């Protein structure tokens, strides 16, 4: 067989130009998104395997007398599994069941007690005005997220776009009425378990060893089964770099740009539990907080009052952000 003729040099250079052009076209959006993202805060599930069949057996979680079957636990349009019905008031229909086909039940992802999970957000006790404002931001495409493959974000956006005004009111009133709680234990360390991604979160890889934490936070459910069963009291371990909590504590009281940009505590409250319509930061998931700070810094997250945050995050480094969210996660909510 004769080898293929080598292409003429001018063809190579045209191909080279086209390739450079194609790279150039891609370079801008990539630089703003995937390339610089802290991967630990944006875990992307591997393609789904086969769903586990429901054998009808009753599933339990600790400190609850309620039981559900696997089918009931995986029902995105509700009623959502409510393991601890005594810990919250009655849920409005939109929160407990959603409105098929486009609005999934809020409490499926954010949980009936509003504690949320690392891949979404805790909503308990946020100001109703802030919840309304953010639902509008999702509706207007102002919170696309930096990682387009994150399905929970996509579903949040689709759901928000289909919400009616009375539904927004009911959901905002419900979640803002809840008392916030935190189920995380923050641990400063130099080494962490090697992890894999399942259920949109990091979880220790079976049989894997340890590795250096580097400039990362590893937030992982203590009991993956409880997490998968959507127990609203699932505890998490949050591994953070040594010294980061103290560094974060110093950063929240510092002004920036020669005093022209106020400190975090000026706007988010002296204990970072929120002030007026400015949201609580204390005791929230570090993965969630890191995504918000990253998206606010790159401009991916927009909204009615993001201009107040832009000068704050503009000059913060990735190491600053890790320290800030390590400290914030360690606080009582
Ligand atoms: C499929 C899962 C899912 C469902 C269902 C869902 N959300 Fe969300 N929600 C998310 C995710 C994911 C985020 C965080 C996006 C990010 O990281 O920026 C979020 C964020 C939010 C935020 C912003 C919180 C903040 O402090 O920034 C609000 C408010 C919110 N959701 C309200 C609701 C309401 C109300 C409903 C029901 C109508 C609902 N969500 C249903 C996944 C969901
Ligand atoms: C000048 C007032 C101001 C200062 C200072 C400020 N923030 Fe904010 N922050 C806001 C406002 C307003 C929002 C809501 C932005 C929006 O509408 O999307 C916000 C949102 C946030 C969010 C997203 C929360 C959520 O629920 O989605 C995080 C995280 C955050 N700020 C962290 C910080 C940290 C950390 C600092 C200090 C380094 C800080 N902020 C300083 C006003 C401020």
Residue with tokens 């929160």: 95
- pLDDT reported for residue 34: 60
- pLDDT reported for residue 12: 33
326 lines ligand 2 (CB under 6 A): no
Compute, in angstroms, the gap from residue 323 CA to the centroid of ligand 1.
25
Lookup: tokens for 186? 């923050």
The pLDDT > 70 percentage for the chain reads 89
Compute, in angstroms, the gap from residue 83 CA to the centroid of ligand 1.
20
- Mean pLDDT across the chain: 90
Residue with tokens 């952000």: 321
302 lines ligand 2 (CB under 6 A): no
Compute, in angstroms, the gap from residue 265 CA to the centroid of ligand 2.
10
pLDDT at 204 over 80: yes
**CA–CA distance, 225 with 231 (Å, rounded to integer):** 9
195 lines ligand 2 (CB under 6 A): no
- pLDDT reported for residue 129: 98
**CA–CA distance, 196 with 46 (Å, rounded to integer):** 10
Which of 312, 315, 319, 326 gets mutated to test ligand 2 (max ligand atoms within 8 A of its CB)?
312
124 lines ligand 1 (CB under 6 A): no
**CA–CA distance, 143 with 295 (Å, rounded to integer):** 8
Lookup: tokens for 188? 């400063």
**CA–CA distance, 94 with 108 (Å, rounded to integer):** 11
Summarize pLDDT for 100-146 with one digit per residue, the tens.
999 999 999 999 999 999 999 999 999 999 999 999 999 999 999 99
- pLDDT reported for residue 30: 36
pLDDT at 176 over 70: yes
**CA–CA distance, 263 with 312 (Å, rounded to integer):** 8
First to last CA, the chain: 73
**CA–CA distance, 315 with 311 (Å, rounded to integer):** 8
- Average pLDDT for 161-190: 98
Of the bound ligands, which one is closest to the alpha carbon of residue 259?
2
324 lines ligand 2 (CB under 6 A): yes
308 lines ligand 2 (CB under 6 A): yes
333 lines ligand 1 (CB under 6 A): no
Asked if omega into 146 is within 30° of 0 (cis), the reply is no
Residue ID of nearest Cα to ligand 2 atom 11? 278
122 lines ligand 1 (CB under 6 A): no
- pLDDT reported for residue 149: 96
Residue ID of nearest Cα to ligand 2 atom 1? 308
**CA–CA distance, 53 with 70 (Å, rounded to integer):** 8
Residue with tokens 């057996």: 57
- pLDDT reported for residue 228: 95
Q: Which of ligand 1's atoms lies nearest the C-alpha of 288?
A: 17
Q: Which of ligand 1's atoms lies nearest the C-alpha of 131?
A: 29
107 lines ligand 1 (CB under 6 A): no
- Average pLDDT for 150-163: 98
Compute, in angstroms, the gap from residue 121 CA to the centroid of ligand 1.
6
pLDDT at 224 over 80: yes
Among the residue ranges 26-35, 52-61, 274-283, 284-293, the one predicted with the least confidence is: 26-35
Summarize pLDDT for 228-255 with one digit per residue, the tens.
999 999 999 999 999 999 999 999 999 9
Residue ID of nearest Cα to ligand 2 atom 40? 264
Residue with tokens 């371990």: 237
Summarize pLDDT for 2-52 with one digit per residue, the tens.
333 333 333 333 333 333 333 333 333 333 446 689 999 999 999 887 778
**CA–CA distance, 157 with 137 (Å, rounded to integer):** 9
282 lines ligand 2 (CB under 6 A): no
- pLDDT reported for residue 77: 83
Summarize pLDDT for 69-109 with one digit per residue, the tens.
999 999 888 899 999 999 999 999 999 999 999 999 999 99
């Amino acid at each position: 067989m004769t080898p293929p003729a080598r292409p003429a040099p001018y063809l190579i250079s045209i191909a080279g130009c086209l390739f450079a052009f194609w790279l150039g076209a891609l370079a801008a959006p990539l630089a703003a998104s995937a390339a610089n993202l802290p991967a630990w805060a944006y875990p992307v599930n591997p393609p789904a395997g086969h769903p586990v069949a429901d054998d009808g057996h009753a599933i339990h979680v600790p400190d609850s007398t309620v039981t559900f079957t696997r089918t009931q636990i995986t029902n995105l349009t509700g009623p959502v599994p409510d393991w601890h019905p005594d810990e919250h008031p009655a849920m409005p229909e939109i929160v407990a069941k959603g409105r098929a086909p486009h609005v999934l039940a809020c409490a499926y992802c954010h949980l009936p007690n509003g504690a949320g999970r690392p891949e979404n957000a805790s909503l308990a006790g946020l100001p109703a005005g802030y919840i309304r404002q953010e639902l509008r931001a999702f509706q207007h495409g102002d919170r696309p997220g930096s990682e387009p493959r994150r399905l929970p974000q996509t579903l949040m956006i689709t759901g928000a776009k289909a919400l009616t005004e009375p539904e927004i009111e009911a959901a905002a009133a419900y979640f803002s009425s809840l008392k916030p709680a935190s189920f995380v234990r923050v641990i400063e360390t130099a080494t962490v378990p090697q992890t894999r991604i399942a259920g949109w979160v990091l979880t220790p890889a079976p049989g894997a060893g340890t590795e250096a934490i580097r400039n990362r936070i590893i937030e992982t459910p203590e009991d993956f089964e409880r997490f998968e069963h959507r127990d609203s009291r699932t505890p998490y371990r949050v591994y953070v770099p040594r010294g980061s909590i103290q560094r974060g504590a110093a950063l929240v009281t510092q002004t920036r740009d020669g005093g022209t940009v106020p400190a975090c505590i000026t706007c988010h409250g002296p204990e970072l539990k929120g002030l007026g319509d400015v949201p609580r930061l204390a005791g929230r998931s570090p993965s969630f907080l890191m995504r918000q700070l990253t998206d606010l810094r790159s401009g991916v997250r927009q909204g009615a009052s993001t201009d107040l945050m832009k000068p704050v995050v503009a000059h913060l480094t990735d190491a600053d952000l890790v320290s800030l969210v390590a400290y914030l996660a360690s606080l009582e909510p």
